[in-house]
Chains A and B, each alone.
Chain A
């Protein structure tokens, strides 16, 4: 039999099957097991908007060094059904090791040189107790190939399936063990060999996904209220906080619609809580009326907007960076706002925490803009140290005669809450006077508009600098924002030219005042965005006076792969 050697220090494993075949369970079990064994790991998934059937795939990228981006390349493929091979066919090369049952490869057609190692997973699964155990057998095979401690997986399985009874657990353990035997056979017979270094330091790190980073960052920012309506891909943040409700004192409410969700969160801030909403484009469209209310009554607000392709329902489970304009221009009337777009899990945590402090301090809405790819991707990061985090509170105790909208030099009026002092807190969506009562006095209108907009200057002063990797002067700068960071970083490193550098914006509005100066040093600018019309390049043009002619855009519904972006950058460099 042909021997396959994956002697790279970076291996991409892809599991592909139908919804309901348990690919997510494999991902969960292995993501954690790899990390705990000391392997650097990146995992991401693409899936269809359905509960059963279709073709979904999960990539597990195991490496001797830190990896944070998705690859096209597949080194090891587990096709779990007949459609799987077709689903990932363009990514299969002669070097791809395919492990699975022969029945799934009926028509290899012109791909006759595709390497296949037959494992009768279905037969073994039915011997154990049914088709549902196939995914656990695969887990065992992969764990054996990478010499992951079997007991770790078994312990995790026991906990995961503890509620499903003893039989299920026993069968699952048998399935893992059978998988191990198969994997070990492949190793000992020399059919497959893998050499990736484990690093004990990695075992001490944590592995989380984008949704967890945002949700934990929210807790670190003092979030104690979340109201939202479930919408892929934003729901994991609501789920996470709902599950930690009791532990961290967070009210988590599934609202009747996004309109209610937004108005609830504003009500919560008014009463003195720290509220947030999590949603995606269509849901956020319903929230824009409430966003404008936050602008009018100068309510702090934190909005996690996890983007997916639009317009309308678009591709519900796919990814895009298409709602930057929506976040920037949403809401009738003129009022200041802040938009963060984290490029890493660490930044998602830190910026979400910061969003609460910033929103409270300046009484403005603050956005965390992520996307499906970012929310569903895991990788290992160093332990997050909270010693530098602080929950800044800006609520005052009111006196008699308190005026919620007292005109101040910088535009920020001290914010009281009902029941905390002798004053009364009056807010109104109508234009209002300093006391908060509605008015149609045009002089007051002018002073209130100017007061609200004065805060924009303060927000600009607090803006985060874009990060730059590589030389600054005279290079071609590749500009990106949000989740593209890790993909662009790897693509640029692969290109390996010292006259190419990378600039990443984790705050896309308002821009740091040095933006023009930084980008102005470049000999040439190339922008990379996950949307069709290069929305961020327009922000750079309007607000920094920077014109970028070379635009690389992607609106397929899938994130750029490292290879794709590398090739497209090489085309223009």
Chain B
């Protein structure tokens, strides 16, 4: 893919995410033919074009509904929904909530740079209070969206956060997310070098810390405490609930037959019998 003209700025955290994701997929031996990358719109959402895989680069904010359906129609595919914070948490906020509640077996990676890059520097849902932009001229006055706290509140089955300065850790988290059966949220801090002069590499370094080895991600109340920590953002796997059944697994079409619906053939004779039964009460 050497001849691809990449649209990212030099120094963008997206490069590290692409590297971490590719390494994770290679180490887990995910075949490109069996992988579908679903994305929305924005600089982050261009990532499928720089990879060797199937890709559904849909609409701004709408990656998750498409990803849920792709996985449900063919559960044999590995499905990753990936976009930026504006796309997933802003335009697609309702889908974010509903997807966590469904718990499909997909991995949801969010490039979180606390700013809108492609539209040149407006506030994103995760922008911190006081962040000045051409539109938020007096600084952001909204409470920043806290995806980790929201996900824990909805009992998301896997919630993690990483910072792309540490590519290896990001790769390891992505591998855990891919191995997890159910919805896996991976929010990745990723500085925007062009439009966010506040939340820089240094800022993220100063405002994050690694969860200690003894941390138990199965404790939901503790996870919520971590998620709303007012001082610093914790990095690592913050919460897991591996006991939850998946969306696909709960669908009545798959309770007795795991054959993907796309491989089944409709028996028209069965439908004929169904219609004919309508002749008599």
Q: Which A residues are in CB contact (< 8 Å) with B252?
A: 245-246
- B66 engages A225 (CB within 8 Å): no
Whether, in the assembled complex, A306 has its beta carbon less than 8 Å from a beta carbon of chain B, the answer is: no
Chain A residues with Cβ under 8 A from B77's Cβ? 271, 418-419
Identify the closest chain A residue to B71 (Cβ): A271
B271 in contact with A248 (CB, 8 Å):
yes
**Chain A binder among B56-64, B204-212, B232-240:** B56-64
Residue from the list A271, A386, A423 in contact with B272, Cβ < 8 A: A386
User: What residue of chain A has the Cβ atom nearest to residue B62's Cβ?
Assistant: A263
Question: Given A152-B281, A251-B72, do A436 and B55 touch, yes or no (CB 8 Å)?
Answer: yes
Interface residue ranges of A511-535 to B (CB < 8 Å): none
Which residues on the A side are within 8 Å of B62 (C-beta)? 259-260, 263, 289-290, 293
> How distant is the Cα of A424 from the Cα of B32 in the complex, in angstroms?
8
CB pair B266–A222 under 8 Å, yes or no, is yes
Instruction: Given A267-B65, A290-B62, decide whether A220 and B268 contact each other with a Cβ distance below 8 A.
Output: yes
Q: Bound complex: CA of A551 vs CA of B94, how far in Å?
A: 44
| A267 CB to nearest chain B CB (Å) | 3
A458 to chain B, nearest CB (A): 25
Cα–Cα, bound, A32→B277 (Å): 12
**A224-B264, A424-B32 are contacts. A246–B253 as well, Cβ < 8 Å?**
yes
| Bound CA–CA A267/B264 (angstroms) | 18
Inter-chain contact A268/B70, CB cutoff 8 Å? yes
Query: Please, how many residues of chain B have a CB less than 8 angstroms from a CB on the other chain?
Result: 56
Q: Across the interface, do B54 and A418 meet the contact criterion of CB distance under 8 Å?
A: yes
Residue B33 CB within 8 A of the other chain: yes
Q: In the complex, A192 Cα to B255 Cα: how many Å?
A: 56
Asked whether B69 lies within 8 Å of A383 as measured between CB atoms, the reply is no
Is the pair B33, A32 in contact by a Cβ cutoff of 8 Å?
Answer: no
Q: Is the CB of A264 within 8 A of B66?
A: yes
Q: Given the known A-B contacts A255-B65, A427-B55, are A267 and B274 also in contact in the complex, defined by CB atoms under 8 Å? A: no
B34 within 8 A of partner (CB): yes
> In the bound complex, do residue B279 and residue A249 qualify as a contact, i.e. CB atoms below 8 Å apart?
no
For window 369-386 of A, CB contacts with B under 8 Å fall at 383-386
Query: When the two chains form their complex, are residues A267 and B69 in contact, meaning their CB atoms are under 8 A apart?
Result: yes
Kindly state the separation between the CA atoms of A270 and B38 in the bound complex, as whole angstroms. 11
| A191 close to B (CB within 8 Å) | no
The B35-55 residues at the A interface (CB cut-off 8 A) are 35-36, 38, 41, 46, 48-49, 52-55
A438 is contacted by which of B53, B57, B67, B280 (Cβ under 8 Å)?
B57
How far is the CB of A426 from the nearest CB of chain B, in Å?
Answer: 4
B256 CB, min distance to chain A CBs, angstroms: 8
Q: How many Å lie between the Cα of A253 and that of B254 in the bound state?
A: 14
- The answer to whether A260 and B98 have CB atoms under 8 Å apart is yes
Q: When chains A and B are docked, how far (Å) is the Cα of A253 from the Cα of B66?
A: 13
Contact with B along A236-280 (1 / 0, CB 8 A): 000000001111111101011101110111111011110100000
B95 within 8 A of A: yes
Chain B 137-194 residues near chain A, CB threshold 8 A:
none
Is B57 in contact with A429, judged by CB distance below 8 angstroms? yes
Instruction: List the A side residues contacting B274 at CB < 8 Å.
Output: 216, 244, 247
Is B275 in contact with A263, judged by CB distance below 8 angstroms?
no
A206 with B278: CB separation less than 8 A: yes
Interface size of A by Cβ–Cβ distance < 8 Å? 71
Q: In the bound complex, do residue B264 and residue A419 qualify as a contact, i.e. CB atoms below 8 Å apart?
A: no
Whether B275 lies near A267 (C-beta < 8 A) is no
Is residue A443 within 8 Å, beta carbon to beta carbon, of the partner chain?
A: no
A:70-126 near B, CB below 8 Å: none
Whether A260 lies near B95 (C-beta < 8 A) is yes
Q: In the complex, which residues of chain B have a beta carbon less than 8 angstroms from the beta carbon of A384? A: 275
Contacts of A190-244 to chain B: CB distance below 8 A = 203-208, 216, 219-220, 222, 224-225, 227, 244
Contact A206 B69 (CB under 8 A): no
Closest to A227 in B: B69
Cα distance A216–B274 in the bound complex, in angstroms: 9
Closest to A220 in B: B271
* Contact, CB under 8 Å: B275 / A425: no
B73 sits at the interface (CB 8 A) = yes
In the complex, are the beta carbons of B280 and A257 less than 8 A apart?
A: no
Chain B positions within 8 Å of A244 at CB level: 274
Q: Give the distance in Å from the alpha carbon of A384 to the alpha carbon of B279 in the complex.
A: 11
**B135 on the A face (CB < 8 A):** no
Q: Judge whether B243 is part of the interface by a CB distance below 8 angstroms.
A: no
B29 at the interface (CB under 8 A from A): no
Structural contact, A267 and B74, CB atoms closer than 8 A: no
In the complex, the chain A residue whose C-beta lies closest to that of B266 is A222
B259, closest chain A residue (CB): A249
Is B129 part of the binding interface, using a Cβ–Cβ cutoff of 8 Å?
Answer: no
Is A444 an interface position by the 8 A CB rule?
no
Q: Quick one: given A270-B56, A427-B55, are A264 and B69 in contact (CB under 8 Å)?
A: yes
**In this assembly, does A50 line the interface, its C-beta being within 8 Å of a C-beta of chain B?**
no
A428 interface residue per 8 A CB criterion? yes
Which 6 residue pairs of A and B lie closest in terms of their CB atoms, listed nearest first? Answer: A267-B66, A267-B69, A272-B262, A256-B98, A271-B73, A418-B54
Partner-B contacts on A (CB < 8 A)? 32-33, 36, 152, 155-156, 203-208, 216, 219-220, 222, 224-225, 227, 244-251, 253, 255-257, 259-261, 263-268, 270-273, 275, 289-290, 293, 297, 383-386, 389, 391, 417-419, 421-430, 436-438
Q: 15 extra interchain contacts, Cβ-Cβ under 8 A, other than A206-B276, A225-B69?
A: A208-B278, A245-B253, A250-B261, A253-B68, A255-B98, A259-B95, A263-B66, A264-B68, A267-B38, A384-B275, A386-B268, A422-B33, A426-B57, A428-B55, A438-B49
Residues of chain B whose beta carbon lies under 8 Å from any beta carbon of chain A: 32-36, 38, 41, 46, 48-49, 52-59, 62, 64-70, 72-74, 76-77, 94-95, 97-98, 251-253, 255, 257, 261-262, 264, 266, 268-272, 274-276, 278-281
**A–B pairs, 8, beta carbons within 8 Å:** A227-B65, A267-B65, A383-B276, A386-B272, A418-B35, A418-B36, A424-B54, A430-B57
